[in-house]
Structure 1
Amino acid sequence: MSLSEMDQLYQAQKLAMENSPEQMLPKVLETAASLYISEGTAPPLKRELARFTARLLLDVITHDSVASAQKPFIASQHLDCLWSISRNVKDLIAYKYSVLAFSACYPLLFDLVAKTSNQEMWNVMQEMRGFIASNWNTTYPLELSTSDSDPFLSARKNIGCRLATAKFLSQIIIVHTSRNGNNLKAGSVSISSVPDSHPVISNKPQLESEAKKFLDLLLNYLIEEPMMVSSVFNGVLNCLAFIMKQRPQATMRILSGLLKFNVDAKYQADDVSVLNYRLSKRFVERCYKNFVQFGLKSQLIKSSGQMASQQMKLSKISQTLHIIGEETKSKGILNFDAEQVENKITNKEKQKYLVLKRKQTTAKVNRSTATPMMSPPAGAASSTPQPGNSASPPVEELPVDTTGSMLLDLQKYTMSKNNIAGFFNNSPIAIDTSYCAIYSLMNSKNSEQDVSKLPQDVMIKLCSEAFYSTDTTKMISGLSIVASRYTDLMNKVSQLQQQQQQQQETGISKRKVEEEDEASDSKRIKKEDEVALSSNVADNEGKLEDEYDYDAAKDQKHTEVDLIKPQAMTEEEKMKHLERIVQHIMDVSNNDESSEVNTALVKDQGPLEKIKLLQWSNKESWLHILTRLCTRGVSHRDNMSNFIRQTLYDYFMNDFNGRIGMALEWLGEEWYYESISNEPSNNYPNYDHWSSKFLDGLIPFLENQHRRIFIRLMSELPRIEQLHIDKVRPICLDPARSSLGFQTLKFLVMFRPPVKPMVKTLLEQIMQEDLTVKEQCNAILVKFYQ
């Protein structure tokens, strides 16, 4: 074949598009596929044919003129050719269009396999699906040089193939997830249409589980990718919107992951300008806002039930992003401070990310070695390049990870218990005093599943998934059984202690009787002819000794009781202990050492020091402890609680720009506790005092660049009174910061209607105090109060 024949193919395609595409396009596709498969074609021409064939197949499958009934057979006819292109041709364009074409063909092929039970076709589909999924978040088929092996530089390489893979994964998620028939258009393909006894598609639970894993891949990319890759972020968000629309049951999972997607935390690449980074960030923020607005308008994100909290948080984020966009539009995208926008990754964060990436790669290699998700074809493994191979350690040098095998054992164990409707072991009495016996509900003895050896993040995922999927009644029933076992064991321990105490008292009484018998016997064997005076003296001496022994024993008993009886601490001692506890919590919360360093420290410590909490399960766990302690743990109005509040206040003021979210959480806890207390509903002494104090301390340091955090603070305060609104007065009267104050008041009027009368009162007051701000006050009053 020559270049002239290639030109003839392009001309034939053009003519087919213009004249009878439903008949001519499939014929041109057959010709191109046969030329690609034929042997003896030079590599450059073979690469060009691969591009042409994959792109033309995509056009045929998506063309409206081609009959829908004909498309599945066209897709099945060229499946092997498509598989060969994606596996053997190391070309970006060819691979991208082969993935897109397979994504368009997959529902048709899946439906065809379900109807015809074609095992050979299903095997090819599984191989190709596994091959494409394994290349997600890689630069395949791009072969990177050693200088490009840095993941922070290669994150923006080969974006086209990555976007095509994201679209393919979303298609797999939709097809492999059961559909709700009342909210989908007729003719949509899904796994729910396949019978359980299908001879070929027999692993339906595994396919649905795989769909969830693919969804987690997309969500984890948004959360874990450290660099700002706006094109891929926007593509993933659009794919998630389609998934949410086609499979509404996945909405909760998507929203939970989306709330962890922090656009501000994405770093600027070294070779990207500040303006480019700012534009990329704005594009992602706008896409984020559009995604939320789409979910709200289509009623997919609901304001009731379990989704209420996510709906409220996402609505606030959407409103904030809208305001930011409007202000950016009014000021101009080029009007910004480069030093404030620039956000390049530090060496410390880079090292942490590389360590985490190596661990994930190690676990992935071990899992694929133990239980591959699906067997790749013979030629796939050898033809798949490993980007950055020179920088990665060989597989045999990687540390051994037993997590995969432990999870497999746990999976086998749980699957063996699926046929048990209730609890196998519902006895309220434990067979022994071990934890296994107390908590075992599915065995009569130890299950031999030691989950304490699993990593903490894996245990959290297992527990959260179990809690989410477990019936509430069943969970309460299981907890009741465990509580009964604990109660029974405590009663047994109490009875045992009473028996031991009774035995000790019985032994003391017995010894006393024996001593008295021995004394009486010794008196009876005395000689009768002893002198009466000597006898009386001896008797008196015996009585004195008995009285002395009795008094000594009595004093010793009282001394032991005094030692056992706890002494009440004074207020000063309580305060000292509280200061020590709070300081310890604050010290641990400020510890930013890596987990490797902490692990090394634990190894060198004694058994008692090992129980020290070196890492929080959540970065804000310490905050939850202290806020609950000051509101509910101690009397919420005494010096002890105020000491904790002062500590929190000082902590937030040291870095109010980065800790405003935690400060709002603390104030929200103060408000919530006082709202549910027995005090009158309008009395919030602690909340009013500390929220006012926080504003008093914050306002002198605020500048115009703090607009976002101040608007967030004023909009998210759980309760706003006139005293809070009046705090904005000095900002509005300050010529250098007046725009910050009036923008905040305008935001409150627009999005927090209950405070409109308070804002009006303040505007009227400051307009009378300073005529220079009259125009700004009137602008708000005229627009929103008339």
Structure 2
Amino acid sequence: MSDLRDTIKQLNSARELALKDPALYPQIVSGVQAVIGPERPVELRRWGADFLAESFASPVVSAEEKQRMCLGMLDLLKSYLNRKEERGEEEDWNVVKSAVQCAASVYPLVFRHTISNADDKETWAKMASMKSSILRRMDTAPGSMRICCIKFVARVVQVQTPGLIADPRRPEQNETSLALVPRDHAIIPPSNLEAEASGLLDRLLGVLQDNIPDALIITATLNALSPLVAKRASISPKILSTVLSYNPLTLANAKMEGKDKIAIKSMTRTTMSFLNNVLKRTQHPALGPRIHQQVERLRHSLTEVFSDQNPLKRPAPDEPTDGLSDDKRQKLDRDAEAGTTPLQQQYPPLPPGPVSLAQLFTLTNDRAAAGFHVEAIPQHFVAQLVPPLLASIDPTQLDAAINVVRARYLEIQRQPPPTVVQTSGEEEDDDYDPMTGFGDAEQAANQIDQLPPLQGQPELAIASFHLPPPPPLTEHERAEYSETAKERLFGALQRLDDEARRQGKKQGVEREKGFNRLAATGGEDRDGWIALLTRLVTRPTFDVNQENDNIKQEGDERSLTKKGQGTIDLPKILREAFHRYIMDDWRRRIDVAIAWLNEEWYADRLLSKQREDEELSLPNYTHLTLSLLDSLIPYLDISDTRHLIRFLSEIPHLPTEIFSRIEKLALDPERVQLCTQTLLYLIMLRPPVREGAVDCAERIWRGNADARASVGGKILSKWRPDVLVEAEEGKLLGEGVKEEG
């Protein structure tokens, strides 16, 4: 016995290690397999079944890791479930219950393994044997085990019913369902599995249709059906139809005991919760009114059934017809015999100060009655209550109450209006108007001016006040604030893109375009925001607070803070964001790329002029143009000819390195025509780069045999025919040498 306790203590220590570090689960599961085997004592088998159920239900272990672990555990689970058939020994219900829970978690993993391994019949045979054992116990097992069996059956129905395919290209990321099984699968044919799932679903719904009085089974069934309604649209109408037809209150009768009443209440409320959850998800808008009607019917029926069954603990006293008890009647009679009582003693006096209309008509000291809002009572109830109440009121009391209200009103009218001095100490109201309500404003101002001046008090010298400087930002805060500012800038641009795409091109006032445009005007539209962002990206190239010799170039540190406090390269951050924004949808945003590069070229020109460079230097523009073109090249095909031509024709300057990119692009036989048309357009309509484009075409013609026909016929034949003539002469000379030889 001591050895058994020590073993369980060691197993608990291993379990605690796995809970602290989920990466240890595979090692611990494989390590305890020999300790919790079928030949071990029942205490170890109970611990093993509970640990396996906990391990395969743990959300912190990945599905791939669980799938690898479960393949080695199937024999052990099968021995737990089939102990009586295999060994002829009595089964322990706790072991079997935990094994069923573990089987419910393992079934989708084995199913996915079988889909990918059509030749592994042994694994699926073990799972099928376990499934048959569990289904045989479903109707005869004790209550707690039946709940586990219901969970397993619901999982089988969910797996063997077609589900939604989120991404057909990534089957490993889709939910495990019958939709992943090929039609010609050798081990698990989809038609047989779908028929079996339909039969098991009918078996689950039969629990509701038979109207059994077991609240635990009904609750477990409804909880198991809820995920099926949410994840399997093909069978959800059938489930909802059955649940809508189920009414647990039909079991209620006059001879119910306390346990039966609790069971019926529990089943009714569980059914209402099930339908309310479906109504919140609104996956079935056509059934929405019917679901709402059924929920209200169950709620009212539950109230009616149990309000008659369970009377109140203390019965309400019998009220007299006139609303007065004997004690109150005796007191009123004594007051009447003593003579008339002053009205001030019967009704509360008015409070001091201004009086509201509600206080004027309040004739009771009961705060609850005075604070009750009569509009809370429906109008049809008021119409029914007021006539009998008026008929039951004593005329003498009604006349006395009217006289009290009249006296209050006359007293308020006789009070003088408040003066300026009286109102000066009161709190200022939000709607106060000095020209209304208190007489002549000029008279009040004159009275204030006539007040004696303050004497004997020294003049107060008001010193200047300066706020303390803010604390310095940390490097992390600077990076975080820069990232937030960048996201807000480009988030607004994305929102304007979406609005422009929805509304199309609007007819409006033509705004000024080009370098002279003010970016701040028209910032509410997409073009204005793009102009603002492009100039925000390019203008930090200049440091307006320093001299010409300290102007920053591409690659230098443009710090937002003083040296030594950490630097943030604002232009670099914004340029990277611009690059990502353009590449997200480059065909639609090619105009943004052109506008950006134009601003970069203009900024580099100003920089070169300010530095008085003899040679034109465009460091930022050249680097960004080539970088953007390198990002575009992998996505270009023959249908993108107009996009490439537009890009190369509208940017202000073509670096010579661009032609080397076009040469490499022409190595793809499918994109030779794209390169040819682009070069031809540049040669014909962009004379400054004509010589470089013709040289590029000649290099393509000489180095790429697949492009000779296209490049030679369209470009070299007109712009450099001597190359073709030279090649033809060399070809003829070579043929002549061969003939002489």
How does the TM-score come out when normalised to structure 2?
A: 0.40
Larger radius of gyration: 2
Q: Which of structures 1 and 2 has the larger relative contact order (alpha carbons within 8 angstroms, sep 6+)?
A: 1
How does the TM-score come out when normalised to structure 1?
A: 0.38
